[in-house]
């Protein structure tokens, strides 16, 4: 058998290779790499049947590399293979100064470059003035991703609703999914492990389905694609850094990839095999409102549940008494209705966003009191400083 000439592209066998494909270790020229990358995403779309002709689909656009590549590739494929669908960009402004405001400028340029309609929905309008800057100002950085994830998921749904759309696609890639498979495995969260491997998910608490067309695309190849296509994207990480557990899972995946490049895909496939083996094993312990976008949000189950428990205990939303509690839990599990406050779909009295907002709003008066206290202390310090200045002036005069 004739071995491929390493000085020539492994596909066209004529051009000089410029890329060593992280996924397959093939040496490819630029056009062959771009085509291979696009074709694989097309094959994913076709084999899983995620789009329906005539459908209007929102691309969750953050301005980062993944969603920018997703928008660019989907536009290319829709034209090349005539899917007959319409794409629009949907961006959520979490209200993070110096991060999201800058990345949204990129999305605005992308909307022009790809000739796609753009809708921006902000936490500030949706959640009574609570931007992520304010949330972090209130609760600190720890656990902030839980709030952001719950808020973003609902914001994407509300944005899609405004656009009259029932399908949102996101830029989650193979690395993201492999990380999530690992995390769910380590937590023993089988329902989530089951669901995270699916390309399309429909939640019991949302009428809008989510799909991940980049499910089999390696993060490194996404970066290479963006680079060689000269795409306009925003590359800064969120300033409210992701939580440690996902960071560790990410490091684990990256280390495995170094030893065996196929590891990422192998973990994704293992997640799928698990899902196929177990069939539908019901919804995750906490409904998936937390899975809104940013990688860290899916870790929110634990702290979200704790926050809900705390608020429920305080407000006595769940009826007192063991027998009543059992009955109430059963009813809550079965009944899907609307949040009594905002109308969002939920199986509880309040949706998760409203539960979190309640928590935030309840802590405001206490902080204001503390701020008042601080003001008094600050005034006192200023008075002491003045006093010291007078003493210094007097001492200098002697």
Ligand X SMILES: Nc1ncnc2c1ncn2[C@@H]1O[C@H](COP(=O)(O)OP(=O)(O)OP(=O)(O)O)[C@@H](O)[C@H]1O
Residues that bind ligand X (CB under 6 A): 60-62, 64-67, 91-92, 94, 170-172, 293-295
36 is annotated as contributing to ligand binding? no
CA–CA distance, 331 with 290 (Å, rounded to integer) = 22
CA–CA distance, 356 with 333 (Å, rounded to integer) = 20
- The residue (of 60 and 261) whose beta carbon lies closer to ligand X is 60
Q: Taking the complex as a whole, how short is the minimal distance between the CB of residue 197 and ligand X, in angstroms? A: 16
CA–CA distance, 348 with 350 (Å, rounded to integer) = 5
Q: Is 74 helix (H, G, I), strand (E, B) or coil?
A: helix
Q: Taking the complex as a whole, how short is the minimal distance between the CB of residue 311 and ligand X, in angstroms? A: 26
List CB contacts of 107: < 8 A, sequence separation 6 or more. 61, 62, 63, 89, 91, 118, 120
Kindly tell me the burial class for residue 55, based on how many C-beta atoms sit within 10 Å of its own C-beta (0-12, 13-18, 19 or more): middle
Q: Tell me how many degrees the CA angle 250-270-300 measures, rounded to the nearest 5.
A: 45
Q: Taking the complex as a whole, how short is the minimal distance between the CB of residue 275 and ligand X, in angstroms? A: 20
Q: Taking the complex as a whole, how short is the minimal distance between the CB of residue 176 and ligand X, in angstroms? A: 6
Tokens of 270: 């293992």
Q: Is 338 helix (H, G, I), strand (E, B) or coil?
A: strand
- The residue (of 239 and 318) whose beta carbon lies closer to ligand X is 239
- The residue (of 183 and 294) whose beta carbon lies closer to ligand X is 294
Q: Which residue has the tokens 């306009």?
A: 232
Write out the H or E segment, with its range, that includes residue 159. helix 144-163
CA–CA distance, 195 with 275 (Å, rounded to integer) = 7
- The residue (of 91 and 205) whose beta carbon lies closer to ligand X is 91
- The residue (of 64 and 261) whose beta carbon lies closer to ligand X is 64
CA–CA distance, 332 with 355 (Å, rounded to integer) = 15
Residue nearest to ligand X (CB): 64
160 is annotated as contributing to ligand binding? no
- The residue (of 290 and 295) whose beta carbon lies closer to ligand X is 295
- The residue (of 226 and 355) whose beta carbon lies closer to ligand X is 226
List the one residue out of 357, 350, 312, 367 whose CA is nearest residue 147: 357
Q: Taking the complex as a whole, how short is the minimal distance between the CB of residue 153 and ligand X, in angstroms? A: 10
61 is annotated as contributing to ligand binding? yes
For 58, 92, 265, 364, the CA distances from 222, given in Å and listed in that order, are: 20, 22, 15, 42
Q: Taking the complex as a whole, how short is the minimal distance between the CB of residue 347 and ligand X, in angstroms? A: 24
92 is annotated as contributing to ligand binding? yes
176 is annotated as contributing to ligand binding? yes
Q: Taking the complex as a whole, how short is the minimal distance between the CB of residue 160 and ligand X, in angstroms? A: 11
List the one residue out of 1, 23, 8, 388 whose CA is nearest residue 178: 23
62 is annotated as contributing to ligand binding? yes
DSSP 98: T
Q: What residues are designated binding site?
A: 60-62, 66, 92, 171, 176
Annotated binding site for ATP: 60-62, 66, 92, 171, 176
């Amino acid at each position: 058998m004739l071995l491929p000439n390493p000085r020539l592209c492994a596909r066209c066998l004529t051009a000089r290779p410029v890329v060593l494909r992280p996924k397959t270790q093939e040496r490819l020229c630029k056009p062959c790499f771009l085509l291979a990358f696009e074709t694989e995403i097309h094959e994913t779309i076709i084999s899983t049947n995620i789009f329906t002709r005539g459908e209007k689909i929102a691309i969750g656009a953050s301005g980062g590399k993944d969603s920018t590549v997703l928008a660019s590739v989907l536009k290319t494929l829709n034209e090349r293979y005539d899917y007959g669908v319409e794409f629009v960009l949907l961006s959520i402004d979490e209200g993070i100064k110096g991060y999201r405001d800058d990345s949204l400028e990129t999305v605005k340029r992308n909307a022009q470059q790809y000739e796609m309609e753009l809708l921006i929905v902000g936490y500030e309008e949706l959640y009574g003035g609570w931007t992520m800057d304010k949330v972090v100002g209130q609760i600190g950085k720890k656990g902030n991703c839980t709030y952001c994830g719950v808020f973003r998921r609902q914001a994407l749904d509300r944005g899609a609703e405004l656009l009259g759309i029932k399908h949102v696609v996101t830029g989650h890639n193979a690395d993201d999914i492999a990380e999530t498979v690992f995390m769910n495995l380590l937590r023993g969260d089988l329902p989530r492990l089951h669901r995270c491997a699916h390309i399309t998910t429909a939640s019991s608490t949302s009428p809008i389905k989510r799909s991940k067309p980049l499910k089999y695309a390696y993060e490194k190849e996404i970066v290479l694609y963006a680079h060689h296509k000269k795409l306009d994207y925003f590359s800064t990480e969120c300033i409210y850094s992701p939580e440690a557990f996902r960071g560790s899972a990410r490091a684990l995946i990256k280390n495995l990839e170094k030893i065996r490049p196929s590891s990422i895909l192998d973990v994704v496939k293992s997640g799928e095999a698990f899902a196929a083996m177990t069939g539908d094993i019901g919804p995750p312990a906490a409904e998936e409102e937390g899975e809104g976008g940013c990688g860290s949000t899916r870790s929110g189950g634990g702290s979200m549940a704790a926050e809900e428990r705390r608020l429920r205990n305080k407000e006595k939303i769940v009826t007192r008494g063991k027998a009543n509690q059992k009955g109430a839990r059963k009813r809550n599990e079965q009944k899907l209705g609307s949040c009594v406050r905002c109308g969002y779909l939920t199986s509880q009295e309040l949706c998760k966003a409203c539960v979190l907002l309640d928590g935030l709003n309840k802590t405001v008066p206490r902080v204001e009191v503390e701020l008042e206290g601080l003001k008094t202390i600050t005034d006192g310090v200023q008075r002491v400083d003045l006093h010291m200045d007078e003493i210094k002036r007097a001492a200098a005069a002697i």
